[in-house]
Every structure is written in structure tokens, then in C-alpha cells.
């Protein structure tokens, strides 16, 4: 619990630090770019037969060949209506197709929500993931219903934002003022 709170404090401090120092020519900026560059490297990639390629020159050659195949035309690939099948297109196994064709479960939704870092990016309604994690007992059913509806219609619907006061300490989630009215 204490470690989680400490992690949240450091996350907030880093965001404040970035807002204050930002892209200015400071040591903070240069360290941030070095860290980002270090993480932006392809260390290994799978080839057409599923084997891993680890050597930097081999990786470069594989990527070049893939783009060359993708962006050059030939009489066969230029024909209308012929399905383009390249090494870059992911394919699902029969087992994977069966596993994703069923209805999404509450546990899958909850597991997905908890796998996202708390303050990584706000949702379209402006709330961070941490809000949904912290107040799951109150908002969980609504989140599950919305996710299931999106999977059913196979479309992410427009976000309707409701701005109002919610007392998260009351048993039913309504404000004391709203309860009296």
C-alpha cells in the first residue's frame, strides 16, 4: 500500500517536473531523451517462419526487405481483387479465433483495466485509469456494461460526458444534495 502511494507521488512529481522544465535545454530534458532513445530500439524480431533475429544488420535487412515487398508492385500483386498476403500481416491460429469469439467476461475487463498504468493517459472523458481502479466498486458495473456493449456492436461509441458532483463516500454514489431533492 505504501509502495503504491509512493509510486503515485513520484508519477505526479515527474509530471509536474515535466510541466515546469519541459523541452527547455536542461539536464532533465537531456536525460529524458536518452531514456526514451534507449527504449526505442528493436532488439529482436520474428522472421517469416517464426524464428527470432537478434543481429542488428540482419534485423535491418529483414525490415528493408519487408518494406520493399510491401511498397513495390509486381504484375501479380497489382491485380485487382487479389488478397495481399505479406509477412507483415498477423494471422490468428484457430485456437486464437475460438478464444476471441466468445463474450468478454468481467474478469477479462477487470484484468485489462488493472494492466494499464494508473496515470499513463486519460480516457476520452478526461479521467485517468486510476479513477476507475480506485472506484471500481462504484463504477465497475457501468464500465463492464459499456465494454460488453462495444464488443457486441463491434464499435467504440461516442463518449458522453456528464459533469456533476458525486459523493464517493455515500452508499449509493449520489450527493447528499441529490438525495434530498
pTM of the predicted protein model:
0.39
User: Could you tell me if 144 and 106 are in contact, meaning their C-beta atoms sit under 8 angstroms apart?
Assistant: yes
Q: How confident is the model at residue 43 (pLDDT cuts 50, 70, 90)?
A: confident
At 176 the pLDDT is 40
At 131 the pLDDT is 87
User: Could you tell me if 161 and 126 are in contact, meaning their C-beta atoms sit under 8 angstroms apart?
Assistant: yes
Which alpha helices (H) appear in the chain, and where do they start and end?
2-21, 27-39, 56-71, 94-101, 106-114, 129-134, 136-153, 176-180
Does 159 or 30 have the greater pLDDT score? 30
pLDDT at 154 over 90: no
pLDDT at 138 over 80: yes
At 74 the pLDDT is 63
Q: How confident is the model at residue 179 (pLDDT cuts 50, 70, 90)?
A: very low
Can you tell me the mean pLDDT for 69-95?
Answer: 67
Can you tell me the mean pLDDT for 151-173?
Answer: 61
d(CA 23, CA 29): 6
At 18 the pLDDT is 61
Amino acid at each position: 500500500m505504501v509502495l503504491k502511494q509512493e509510486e503515485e507521488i513520484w508519477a505526479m512529481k515527474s509530471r509536474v517536473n515535466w510541466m515546469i522544465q519541459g523541452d527547455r535545454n536542461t539536464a532533465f530534458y537531456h536525460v529524458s531523451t536518452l531514456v526514451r532513445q534507449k527504449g526505442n530500439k528493436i532488439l529482436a524480431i520474428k522472421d517469416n517462419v517464426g524464428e527470432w533475429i537478434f543481429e542488428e544488420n540482419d534485423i535491418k535487412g529483414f525490415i528493408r526487405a519487408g518494406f520493399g515487398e510491401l511498397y513495390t508492385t509486381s504484375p501479380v500483386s497489382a491485380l485487382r481483387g487479389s488478397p495481399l498476403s505479406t509477412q507483415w500481416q498477423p494471422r490468428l491460429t484457430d485456437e486464437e479465433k475460438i478464444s476471441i469469439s466468445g463474450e468478454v467476461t468481467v474478469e477479462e475487463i477487470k484484468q485489462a483495466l488493472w494492466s494499464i498504468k494508473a496515470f499513463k493517459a486519460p480516457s476520452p472523458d478526461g479521467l485517468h485509469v486510476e479513477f476507475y481502479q480506485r472506484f471500481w466498486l462504484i463504477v465497475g458495473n457501468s464500465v463492464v456494461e459499456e465494454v460488453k456493449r462495444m464488443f457486441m456492436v463491434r464499435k467504440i461509441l461516442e463518449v458522453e460526458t456528464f459533469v456533476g458532483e458525486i459523493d464517493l463516500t455515500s452508499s449509493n454514489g449520489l450527493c447528499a444534495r441529490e438525495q434530498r431533492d
